[in-house]
Amino acid sequence: MTGTLPLDGMRVVELSSFVATPLGGMTLAQLGADVIRVDQVGGGPDIDRWPLAPSGRSLYWAGLNKGKRSVTVDLRSPEGREVVAGLVAQSGTVLTNAPQRPGLGYEELKAQRADLIHVQLQGTREGGNAVDYTVNAAMGFPSITGPSGHETPVNHALPAWDVACGLYMTVGLLAAERHRLRTGEGQSLRVALQDVALATAGNLGFLAEAQLGEPRARLGNHLFGDFGRDFVTADGRVMVAVLTARHWRDLVEATGLGEVTGALERALDADFRRAGDRYRHREALGGVLASWFAPRTCAQVADGLTGTSVLWSRYRDFAEVAAGLSDEPLMSVLDQPGIGPHLAPGSPVRIGDASSPPAPAPTLGEHTDEVLREVLSLSPERIEALREGGAIGAS
């Protein structure tokens, strides 16, 4: 991408592991910030997390650290922590979910940089441990996930709260940066994974629904509050969603089932222009529409619904998605050291008409010497002395 990215000139020190904080740092890096990821010498707990490339390198780690610089220090040593504190003091902004170590707490870092912006991820608001999977279980979502009538909790594969939390951390950091630009004041921000999940459950009405009536039941692949469900086709399965009266009208016209659904309306004393009636009678409507989808291939379904407002998609697995990535404008060939060339996403935030291709993730500790020279103005001799003393890792 040519031109200046919005966060050019911002420097962020990231001490992190797992999903939320690395995702937040990568989001900032893709918008132009210089994000310096600091790891323990030898790597943190996610350096070799699955999935792995054939080479044994972590695709997970590489995927969440694109475009950053990597520094390794011995966080257990006073000299290593002093290096990190110096990087934070020079950068002015830190994003972290790392355990608090002597010399690296907010108050200690603020003593070196009064306008420090410090964004800390927590598991719970009280500082307890939590991860996406435990938070999701505690929030009730597994009780409404899965097929109707299923009796035990069903987890989902997407770490939704980690993703949301990482983006909340990014928004909070940028809000604090704006505050600092206006006032010269730094801020301490804390974002708890459990709070993000609780806020989302509340904002979407799940909690009020349970307080004021009854908790939602499992619906399988049905859409709550309107008509939407999966349909089997001659060669696969599709998801169809109706959210407006226009969507419904176009679906009925495209399938040629207007007379049948009209008769059903009269028999049920319903008005299928209304979302509530479509939802209440979803089983009957689904049975009628299933007869249109069942004999058709997915290509024929596409022909029938193209040009309408109907919301639909064919179900695909990851192998099918991966096979079609060359046609996706978000994806570019990324030659990741230790992994090799593969198609990877750039930033989904589009700035004007320009695109921002992905930058490789660093190898662990790749920029240690470079960052210490550039940010801390350390001499080669001082850097070598730190390395010989075990305070920093290899570059």
What digits encode the pLDDT tens for the residues 338-381? 999 999 999 999 998 877 899 999 999 999 999 999 999 999 99
- 299 backbone dihedrals φ, ψ, rounded to 5°: -65, -40
Cα–Cα distance measured from residue 126 to residue 155, given in angstroms and rounded to the nearest whole number: 25
pLDDT value at 114 more than 60: yes
Question: pLDDT at residue 187 above 50?
Answer: yes
Length of the chain: 395
R_g over Cα of the chain: 26
Q: How far apart are CA 228 and CA 244, in angstroms?
A: 11
Architecture of the domain whose range is 11-202+327-388: 3-Layer(aba) Sandwich (3.40)
pLDDT digits (tens, 9 = 90+) for 3-29: 689 999 999 999 999 999 999 999 999
Query: 8 phi and psi, to 5 degrees?
Result: -55, 135
For 30-40, how does the pLDDT look when each residue is reduced to its tens digit (9 = 90+)? 999 999 999 99
Confidence band for 256, pLDDT divided at 50, 70 and 90:
very high
pLDDT (0 to 100) of residue 177: 98
Query: Residue 1 pLDDT > 60, yes or no?
Result: no
- The tokens of 152 are what? 């035990």
pLDDT at 3: 65
- Looking at the domain that runs over 228-320, which CATH code has it been given? 3.30.1540.10
CB-neighbour burial class of residue 242 (10 A; exposed 0-12, middle 13-18, buried 19+): buried
% of the chain surpassing 70 pLDDT: 99
C-alpha to C-alpha distance for 212 and 243, rounded to whole angstroms: 24
- C-alpha closest to that of 231 among 243, 218, 241: 241
Q: Which residues contact 92 (CB under 8 A, 6 or more apart)?
A: 11, 113, 115, 116, 117, 186
162 belongs to the catalytic site: yes
Reading the block at residue 356, the tokens are 């921002």
- For the stretch 201-216, pLDDT in tens is 999 999 999 999 988 9
- Which residues are registered as beta bridge partners of 237? 232
At 121, is the pLDDT very low, low, confident or very high (cuts 50, 70, 90)?
very high
- Is-contact 184 192, C-beta < 8 A? no
Instruction: Judge if pTM exceeds 0.75.
Output: yes
For residues 83 and 365, is the Cβ–Cβ distance under 8 A?
no
Q: How far apart (Å, rounded) are the C-alpha atoms in residues 22 and 173?
A: 14
Phi and psi angles of residue 63, each rounded to the nearest 5 degrees, phi first: -65, -30
d(CA 55, CA 286): 47
Average pLDDT estimate for 301-328: 97
Average pLDDT of the chain? 96
pLDDT higher than threshold 90 for residue 395: no
**C-alpha–C-alpha distance, residues 245 and 271, integer Å:** 10
Which one of the listed residues 162, 226, 277, 369 is annotated catalytic?
162
Helices of type H across 92-214: 106-112, 132-139, 160-183, 193-203, 206-212
Instruction: Quote the tokens at residue 312.
Output: 């639909």
Q: Is the pLDDT of residue 2 over 60?
A: no
